[in-house]
Structure 1
Amino acid sequence: MRVLVTGAYGFVGNAVVRRLAEAGHEVVALTHRPPGTPLPTLPVAKVVHGDIRDGAAVATATAGVDAVCHLAALTRVRESFEMPDEYHDVNVNGTASLLDALADRAAVDRPVVVFGSTAAIYGAPEQQPIGEDVTPAPGNPYGMSKLAADQLLQRRGESGAIRAVSLRCFNISGSVGGVGDGDESRIIPKALAVAAGRYPHLEMNGDGSAIRDFVHVDDLARAYVLALNAPVSPYRAYNVGATPASMAEIVNAVERVTNQPVPVVHRPPQPEPPRLVADLSRITTELAWKPERSGLHDLIRDGWSVASRADR
């Protein structure tokens, strides 16, 4: 299968490209990095440089492909409050640009589009663990933009233009091929950066008892490969999580794995849900997916393999 990966050189894209190539797929990469920019070595057959909102670039990238793994997006929750219009433009209008390009390609018979969605679309539901049928209620512009893109994907699927799969990812960590998560606004990358000596301490709201769900980027990448052959149509959503852990547990695990101290400065508690955990029954039953590298020790060890030598 010839598969386009948008955002192919990002944290998740890197892992997805590697898993696709390993499974025997031919990969086309779309990147917003300008031509001439040095790119990491990835097993891709073709690289197209262009913004996901650029119709001409997207048309070039989609030419001849059988499926798309759509990862190109803005993803930082805090930043989205400062740039809500930009998040909507990239995440929603960019998705529309991609789907329009596929619709214009009469030679493609209902291509598969696997969309990188997020648990942020759920907001803070009382129901735990969170199932895919929970009514979405995003609490930030990032989640709102991803929900709008998800709904657009569903409408196109139900129209018969595509077969659509939405992977609603919880917190992604770990590393593949020397590429880790560089967003130090997230708990594991920030704790690892403190362990590496780049920051004096980690700030934490409250006592660290809040629990979130984490998944290794390589386990997530395998979910993309499985989703290409998902026996569902026209649209299906799957949660992708694996390991619930509290903020305090993460700090303790980082100290054990790195053998370095992670000083914590506790800030006043903020209004936030005490627990956000994925119900994985759908993806494990329908796609036969299960996490293999998402234990807390593995997540942190693989993240540390990059963070310990990073010069950011």
Structure 2
Amino acid sequence: MRVLVTGANGYLGRPVIDALEAAGHDPIAMVRTATSSIHAPTRVADLLDEVKLREALDGVEAVCHLAGLTRARESTVDPLRYFRANTAGTIALLDAMAATGVPRIVFASTGSIYGSPERQPMTEDMPDAPPHPYAASKLAAEFAIHAQAQAGNLSAVVLRLLNVAGGADPDPTRLIPRALAAARQRSALEINGDGSTVRDYLHIVDAAAAFVACVENMPPLGKATRYNVGSGQGTSILVVVVAAVERVTGHRIHLVHRPPVPEPAALIGNPSKAIAELRWYPAHSHIDGIVRDTRHNLKTSNSIGAI
């Protein structure tokens, strides 16, 4: 299948292209600016450029829609930018897909839409409670996708991803790259509160495989479905993540505890529905493997040097 991958130059985009290609599909990378480092046919377009977007969709059979903004804290400062990119950009894509006759979409959404539910792990039937503009902008995009499907114009899958990690993580503000940098530099790692918060870390290879599984198991036209995609395992900052980095690197990490901030005590996704219906499994999402892979890829890209 010929699959257009929006946001192809991003952290998740490249692994999705690799996974589609390995599964025998024909991925096409859509990027905002020309790049020669993606090993797939590339089309340059912006989601808000109607003409270029329709050109990018020419001959395409499905879309993996990854393009968007993802920083939750930044979204609280500049919320309209997030709604413009994540919501308006998705609506523009849906318009262009309808105009060019592309009937299938797999959308990268976020598990943060559930907010801070007491019941863990989180299942797809839980109510939505987006805690910040980033999550709200993704939820609004989901509403547009579901409405377009219900109108009979679309076959759609929404993937609510948990904390994607591993690979060549380009964001030095995320916990695992920060912990690896602290181990390398013998510097302090600052964490909020006592480090007991629990998160669900999903290896980027497993995340990419989920998109392939969706492309190969799309619902019928007029239907939209949603899956939580995570490891299903809770991983605490202090007991598990920091300990894993110390095991992998062989270096102790000095922790500095900052005042606690308001945040959910635990966010864990239940991937049972995706496992059952997509024949997908988070096979690589054990924390030591994620840390080891992040370390290897960041060393290879010379982002953090040797550890």
Deviation at 1:231, TM superposition (A): 5.0
The counterpart of 1:173, out of the listed 146, 165, 189, is: 165
Correspondences of 1:206-221 after superposition (within 5 Å): 206-221=193-208
Deviation at 1:311, TM superposition (A): 5.5
Aligned partners of 1:193 and 1:307 also within 8 Å: no
Q: Which digits, 9 at most, give the CA deviation of each residue in 1:97-148, with x for residues without a partner?
A: 1110011124x4xx21000001111111112110111111111111111111
Aligned partners of 2:14 and 2:38 also within 8 Å: no
Q: 1:49 to 1:231 in 2, by over 3 A?
A: closer
CA distance in 2, matches of 1:201, 1:31: 37
Q: Give the alignment's TM-score, normalised by structure 1.
A: 0.92
Aligned residue in 2 for 1:123 = 115
Deviation at 1:196, TM superposition (A): 3.0
Q: 1:212 to 1:311 in 2, by over 3 A?
A: closer
Q: Which digits, 9 at most, give the CA deviation of each residue in 1:4-60, with x for residues without a partner?
A: 000111110010000001111111111112x3xx43242x1x211122221122111
- Please tell me the root mean square deviation across aligned C-alpha atoms, in Å: 1.5
Deviation at 1:286, TM superposition (A): 0.7
Correspondences of 1:137-148 after superposition (within 5 Å): 137-148=129-140
Aligned partners of 2:43 and 2:56 also within 8 Å: yes
Q: Unaligned regions of 5+ residues in structure 2, if any?
A: none
CA distance in 1, matches of 2:304, 2:32: 23
Aligned partners of 2:54 and 2:96 also within 8 Å: yes
CA distance in 2, matches of 1:254, 1:62: 42
Aligned partners of 1:29 and 1:61 also within 8 Å: no
Aligned residue in 2 for 1:40 = 37
CA distance in 2, matches of 1:40, 1:194: 30
Correspondences of 1:222-233 after superposition (within 5 Å): 222-230=209-217, 232-233=219-220
Question: What residue identity is the alignment partner of 1:112?
Answer: R
The counterpart of 2:226, out of the listed 228, 234, 237, is: 237
CA distance in 2, matches of 1:126, 1:158: 31
Secondary structure at 1:11 match in 2: coil
Aligned residue in 2 for 1:26 = 26
Q: 1:196 to 1:290 in 2, by over 3 A?
A: same
Work out the number of aligned pairs and report it: 299
Correspondences of 1:100-139 after superposition (within 5 Å): 100-106=95-101, 108=102, 111-139=103-131
CA distance in 2, matches of 1:6, 1:163: 17
Aligned residue in 2 for 1:268 = 259
Q: Which digits, 9 at most, give the CA deviation of each residue in 1:73-110, with x for residues without a partner?
A: 1011111112211111000111011110011124x4xx
Aligned residue in 2 for 1:190 = 178
Deviation at 1:188, TM superposition (A): 1.3
Question: Does 1:246 pair with 2:216?
Answer: no
Q: Once the two structures are aligned, what percentage of the paired residues are identical?
A: 42
Q: Unaligned regions of 5+ residues in structure 1, if any?
A: none
Secondary structure at 1:238 match in 2: strand
The structure 1 segments of at least 4 consecutive aligned residues displaced by more than 6 Å after TM superposition are none
Q: Which digits, 9 at most, give the CA deviation of each residue in 1:230-286, with x for residues without a partner?
A: 253410000011032000110111111122332211012222221111111110111
Aligned residue in 2 for 1:293 = 284
CA distance in 2, matches of 1:225, 1:296: 23
Aligned partners of 1:223 and 1:289 also within 8 Å: yes
